[in-house]
Chains A and B, each alone.
Chain A
Amino acid sequence: MLLSTLIIVLREILEAALVISLLLVFTRLRGIDARWVLYGLGAGMVGAVIYASQIARVSEMFEYTGQEITNASMQVAIFISLAILTVLICRPAPHRTRLVSILMALVVALAVAREGFEILLYLSGLMTKPELVTPLLLGTILGTGIGCSIGALFYYGLLNFSPRSGQTIALLLLALFGGNMLSQAAQMLIQADLLPAGATLWDSSRILPEDSLAGQLFYALIGYEATPTLMQLTAYLGGLGLLLALALPGIAIQRRQALQPE
């Protein structure tokens, strides 16, 4: 029970930990006040409790596809926030730091709420058995710890590069994360029969199974799917391409300024 709890919690936390560490890198490079993380985490936890407590009602909405529509909306909202953030972050001088902080808090809140509610539902079902409380709590703490450690590893790893390379890599990872969000949203809408399913494009489950540790990491990191559909791939590449395109003008200005003699 301890191990399966650890894996479930880690799986859910990885994605949020990754996006938080990326946003923190930008905060650090830009010298923005990092308090938004706390607001985001707080709001996300409250959101997770509300979502978990209302899950039966939400599930029945829209002819039993309320969950998919809610999740897809949250993923699209994360993507839109990331798109605006990408534009603002790439501007040369500190720009609209208040809006940047609010959007970063929003991304964190949505990511934490979406992943947290699953952990809460999982735990609430099992906590009723007294003999399971200890392994459940221990698994949750260990899973959270490992997830946060991986996030920290990313954060310090990226800050180890020169500021410019660090920013470029973080932007690329953020764009991949955004593509992943849109791909997941597309998958949710396919599941709700609001988008056509279409055939699977390939099956790489033998090379890299989705349920393996590496598969899970790649899923959180770049949205890896062993059996994607054309709709998912289109959403993924579209999201990735859009975020990269939004980053380019700002980066070009930064480059030009860096080349100019002081």
Chain B
Amino acid sequence: MRCFPLSPLHTLLLAASIAVVPQVLAAPPLVKIEIRDHLFYPSNVKIPANTKVKLVVINRDPTAEEFESYELNREKIIPGGATSVIFIGPLPPGEYPFFGEFFPRTAQGKVIAE
């Protein structure tokens, strides 16, 4: 006889959904960045300090770009003509430079947490 009505998989799924609920309730603020002609718009991205933020990066160029930042510990390829998402933070107040690794001379910007 089974004493426990839930299979291990169900228990796991239940636990996972409980763990996920608080995150869904407090959806992180959304900040948009566009890549055009190998430049970031805006190049200065203001975000609230100590808050997780969802960066939505839209690449309007036909070529791929790599969003990279040593200060933010982030690295992601944004395919040509595609939209992508990068989560950053929570960050203490300060400036965090980022650049497009494939076109580093022009594609520069910084995240300003305040």
Chain A residues in the interface with B (C-beta under 8 A): 4, 8, 55-56, 59-60, 63-65, 67-68, 118, 121-122, 124-126, 128, 187, 190-193, 197, 199, 205, 209-211, 225-229, 232
Contacts and interface: CB of A to CB of B under 8 A. Distances in A.
Contacts of A60: 82-83
A63 B74 CA distance: 18
Give the 4 A-B residue pairs with the shortest CB-CB distance, closest first. A125-B63, A64-B85, A193-B87, A56-B79
Contacts, number: 82
Contact of B71 (A68, A125, A227): A227
B79 A197 contact: no
B79 A55 contact: yes
B101 A8 contact: yes
Contacts of A211: 70
B76 interface: yes
Contacts of B80: 56, 125
Nearest to A68: B76
A190 B62 CA distance: 28
A124 B64 contact: yes
Contacts of A229: 73
Interface of B: 23, 28, 52, 54, 62-66, 70-71, 73-87, 89-90, 92, 101-102, 104-105
A59 B70 contact: no
Nearest to B65: A125
Given A60-B83, A125-B102, 8 more contacts: A55-B64, A59-B82, A121-B79, A122-B101, A190-B87, A191-B87, A197-B87, A199-B90
